[in-house]
Structure 1
Amino acid sequence: MAVQPEPDCWSHPHLEVRPSAVAGDGLFATAAIPAGTVVSRLGGRLVTWAELQDLFADPGIPYVDTIAGHGDLHLVLPPGRPIGKSNHSCDPNLWWVAPYTLVARRDLRPGEEVTNDYATSTAAPDFAMECRCGTALCRGLITGADWRRADLRRRYGDHWTPALLTLIRAERA
């Protein structure tokens, strides 16, 4: 059974949106944030894959911010929330600890961009994104099949959205 999200998102008070060298705007720490600190709780509404495809196809909706939820359900975030500006990195400083909760993977410094690995929150078969994170671990291309990579499974352990954890555990069985 899917855990119901809160209707809105929450972000740590020491985060702000500013221009990013990775892509467009990003989310940055304005003060030190210790490892393990909750940085964001995502909220919104759960939709099926078919409903999500309808949202993507709607020309009146310029952008849909979404993550894999549970089974066929996907969380669609309310538009314009700061956490939606968190860019991807192949060596992120945030990771998942609960269905909709991201924490600092390590200590965050003031001025540091807050990032997560998009591969930990999507298994969409058509998802592909060129990566410009610039880290030593950069994969160049992020896809909806990256959850199958052994190196990422080792690196992230159980720090995936529930839908992906279910897929990973099913393959292990």
Structure 2
Amino acid sequence: MPEPAAGPGPGADGWRHRDVETRPSAIAGRGLFAVRDLAGATVVLRLARATVAGGRVDLLGAGFPNHGCDAVLGWADDRALATMGEVAAGTELVADYAMSISEPGWYLRCHCPSYRCRQMVEGGDWQIPQLQRRYAGWWAPPVRRLIEAGRAET
């Protein structure tokens, strides 16, 4: 994975790649955007801390990307989000919240522009086989362990 570029970020609350900035978003208020082309596997956010509580990765620090049903960011480890492929300058950096939330009863109405939009994102979406295949290798560690445990049972 490429080394993170040093650059301005939230400091003690986490770290953000220098080629990422916050801008108005058509998805939800404000979002994180690439200001230059980014290579695949570029770490763009490192959270100060992330804890697992009630089936949800609670993220603290560095801001967090909006949800999108066609994510460009995935989990590089338990605190870092990275590009899952090449990302063009101007692209909003979105993560599919299914990659980090497994809390029963949790839901979010989605407003992303993707043709893959699920309309309603739920805490059990990590169980959808198509998502498991699409995001293979990019799941938040707690959710990845649930997926692996489910495969071991079958």
- Same fold, TM-score > 0.5, yes or no: yes
Q: 1:157: how far off?
A: 1.1
Q: What residue is the counterpart of 1:37 in the other structure?
A: 42
Q: What residue is the counterpart of 1:89 in the other structure?
A: 68
**Dislocated runs of 4+, deviation >4 Å:** none
Counterparts in 2 of 1:16 and 1:152: CA distance versus 1, 3 Å: same
Q: 1:122: how far off?
A: 0.6
Q: 1:76: how far off?
A: 4.0
Q: What residue is the counterpart of 1:115 in the other structure?
A: 94
TM-score (norm 1): 0.75
Counterparts in 2 of 1:112 and 1:149: CA distance versus 1, 3 Å: same
Higher relative CO (Cα under 8 Å, sequence separation at least 6) belongs to 1
Counterparts in 2 of 1:48 and 1:122: CA distance versus 1, 3 Å: closer
TM-score (norm 2): 0.84
Given residue 147 of structure 2, which amino acid in structure 1 is its aligned partner? I
Deviations 1:13-51 (A, max 9, x none): 1111111011100111111111111111112363654xx
Query: Unmatched 5+ residue regions in structure 1?
Result: 1-6, 53-66, 69-74
Q: How does 1:122-141 map to 2 (within 5 A)?
A: 122-141=101-120
How many matched pairs? 141
Question: RMSD of aligned C-alpha atoms?
Answer: 1.9
2-side partners of 1:21 and 1:46: how far apart? 29
Given residue 111 of structure 1, which amino acid in structure 2 is its aligned partner? G
1-side partners of 2:66 and 2:77: how far apart? 20
Deviations 1:110-150 (A, max 9, x none): 21111110110111112100111111111111010001101
Given residue 135 of structure 2, which amino acid in structure 1 is its aligned partner? Y
Query: Unmatched 5+ residue regions in structure 2?
Result: 1-11
* Partner-residue secondary structure (3-state), 2:98: helix
